[in-house]
């Protein structure tokens, strides 16, 4: 039975379902971090309550350069990450939208969230949101390149730019064992793009006022937040699908993505925050070099075994 595309888009597996999944994953993340820190942590409906509260809160529009942008950018962020979700095998189902090159497009759409946040920071005439925005953008670019290259590792091996084709060719093979460096780079890259600790130098968690989101409140903040957590789920799904042997059924999907989430939450707790110069300077060089080495190894292997 083919599901009409509009249902795909709005409800399942895109749209509302993605939002619900993203909220659930945020809960798992916060709960795991809390347990690591010897605390009880939030209740299961906490992320939903947070988002709902933000959406109904008064929105204060500060003095901005472009009022239209102020309102549009959060919507753009959420739209970007939800669109990216359409090409990724959520729950092991075939992606609703599949075309050659959709791997690249998905990764770019994922960056749309952080780039919108950066632009939003510039837009609000607050010096600190401007600084936060610049740093945020710098970091996302530095982590984007190695991340993209790492995700293209499986693409090189299977010879396709299309996610569904890659998965079909791989057919359950665990690339993580043959390309461990690529996997590591991809995980670190994802953490950097999401600004998860220890790479949260640009925003240092929501406790710190400065950063692109300083002047946002209410609906705008809520939408940006949703965009961020959807990006997290999509990123995890991509990683699990490409490196951890595909997600052919819901059980595999949940198992692999949640395992990855727990690993990332553990990294969050174990390490002290890196200074921005450490996150950016080191990774831009070494991350890219590592993944290029991986690529060379993969290409050589293909050439030799072809």
Partner 1 sequence: MTTSVQTGTPTDPALGRAETILARWAPVASRPEPNRLDVPVPAEDVAQAAQALGRERWGYLAAITGLDHGPEADRLEALYHFCSGAAVLTLRALLPRHGGTVPSVAETFPLAMFFERELSEMFGVTVAGTPDPSRLFLPDDWPTGVYPLLKDVNPQAALAAQSETAPPRLQGKSDGDRFIVPIGPQHPALKEPGHFAFEVDGEVVKGASVRLGYVHRGIEKACEGQTWVQNLYLLERVCGICSHTHATCYALGVERLAGVEAPPRAQAIRVILGCLERIHSHLLWLGVAAHEAGFETLFMYSWRDRETIMDLLEQLSGNRVNYSCNVLGGVKFDISAEQAQAIRRALDFVEERTRHYLEVVSTDTLFLGRTQGIGVLSRQEAEYLGTVGPTARASGVPIDIRVTHPYAAYRAFPAEMVLDTAGDLTARFVVRMKEVFESGRVIRSILDNLPAGDLTVKMPRRIKPAETISRYEAPRGEVFYFLRSNGSDTPERVHIRTPSLCNWTSVLTKAVGAQLADVPLLLAGMDPCFSCNDRTVVITRPRRDPQVLSWEALRSAARQDRRR
Partner 2 sequence: MTTQLEHPWQAALDKVKTWARVNSPWAIHFNTGSCNGCDIEIVATLTPRYDLERFGVKLQGSPRHADLLICTGPVTRQARDRLIRVYEQMPDPKFVVAVGSCAISGGAFRGCYNVVGHIDKVIPVHAYIPGCPPRPEAIIDGVVKLLGSLQPPAAKN
Q: By CB under 8 A, name the binding residues for partner 1.
A: 36-39, 127-128, 131-132, 134-135, 138, 197-198, 200-204, 207-211, 269-278, 280-281
- Closest Cα partner for 18 from 241, 258, 231, 255? 231
Contacts of residue 286, defined as CB under 8 A and 6 or more positions apart, other chains included, come to none
Could you tell me the smallest distance in angstroms from the CB atom of residue 99 to partner 1? 37
Residue 280 binds which entry of partner 2, partner 1, none, with Cβ cut-offs from 5 to 8 Å by kind? partner 1
- Closest Cα partner for 225 from 7, 75, 37? 75
Residue 158 binds which entry of partner 1, partner 2, none, with Cβ cut-offs from 5 to 8 Å by kind? none
Could you tell me the smallest distance in angstroms from the CB atom of residue 145 to partner 2? 30
Tokens of 240: 């699990």
Tokens of 239: 């990683």
Task: Kindly tell me which of 148 and 221 has the beta carbon lying closer to partner 2.
Answer: 221
Tokens of 289: 């070099």
Task: Kindly tell me which of 39 and 66 has the beta carbon lying closer to partner 2.
Answer: 39
Tokens of 261: 């989430």
Could you tell me the smallest distance in angstroms from the CB atom of residue 133 to partner 1? 10
User: How far separated are the first and last CA of the chain, in Å rounded?
Assistant: 40
Residue 215 binds which entry of partner 1, partner 2, none, with Cβ cut-offs from 5 to 8 Å by kind? partner 2
Task: Kindly tell me which of 96 and 194 has the beta carbon lying closer to partner 2.
Answer: 194
Task: Kindly tell me which of 79 and 267 has the beta carbon lying closer to partner 1.
Answer: 267
Task: Kindly tell me which of 219 and 273 has the beta carbon lying closer to partner 1.
Answer: 273
Could you tell me the smallest distance in angstroms from the CB atom of residue 46 to partner 2? 6
Q: Would you call 93 exposed, middle or buried from its count of C-beta atoms within 10 A (0-12, 13-18, 19+)?
A: middle
Number of CB atoms found within 10 A of residue 200's CB: 22
Residue 58 binds which entry of partner 1, partner 2, none, with Cβ cut-offs from 5 to 8 Å by kind? partner 2
Q: How far is CA 95 from CA 22, 90, 152, 304, in A?
A: 17, 7, 18, 33
Q: Which parts of this chain interact with partner 2 (CB under 8 A)?
A: 30, 34, 37-43, 45-46, 49-50, 52-54, 56-60, 206-210, 213-218, 221
């Amino acid at each position: 039975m083919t599901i009409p595309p509009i249902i795909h888009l709005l409800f399942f597996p895109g749209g509302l379902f993605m939002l619900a999944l993203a909220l659930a994953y945020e809960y798992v993340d916060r709960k795991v971090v809390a347990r690591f820190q010897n605390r009880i942590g939030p209740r299961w409906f906490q992320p939903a309550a947070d988002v709902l509260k933000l959406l109904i809160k008064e929105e204060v529009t500060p003095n901005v350069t472009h009022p239209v942008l102020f309102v549009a950018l959060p919507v753009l962020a959420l739209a970007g990450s939800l669109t990216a979700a359409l090409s990724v095998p959520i729950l092991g189902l075939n992606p609703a939208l599949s075309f050659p090159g959709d791997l690249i497009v998905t990764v770019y759409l994922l960056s749309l969230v952080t780039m919108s946040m950066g632009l939003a920071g510039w837009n609000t005439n607050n010096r600190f949101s401007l600084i936060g925005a610049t740093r945020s953008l710098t970091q996302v670019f530095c982590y984007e390149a190695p991340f993209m290259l790492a995700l293209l590792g499986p693409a090189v091996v299977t010879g396709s730019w299309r996610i569904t084709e890659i998965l079909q060719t791989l057919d359950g093979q665990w690339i993580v064992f043959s390309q461990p460096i690529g996997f590591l780079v991809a995980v670190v890259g994802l953490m950097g793009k999401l600004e998860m600790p220890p790479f949260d130098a640009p925003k240092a968690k929501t406790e710190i006022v400065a950063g692109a989101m300083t002047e946002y409140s209410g609906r705008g903040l809520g939408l940006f937040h949703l965009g961020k957590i959807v990006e997290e789920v999509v990123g995890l799904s991509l990683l699990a699908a490409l490196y951890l042997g595909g997600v052919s059924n819901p059980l595999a999907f949940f198992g692999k993505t949640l395992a990855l989430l727990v690993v990332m939450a553990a990294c969050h707790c174990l390490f002290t925050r890196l200074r921005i110069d450490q996150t950016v300077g080191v990774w831009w060089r070494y991350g890219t070099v590592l993944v290029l080495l991986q690529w060379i190894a993969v290409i050589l292997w293909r050439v030799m075994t072809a």
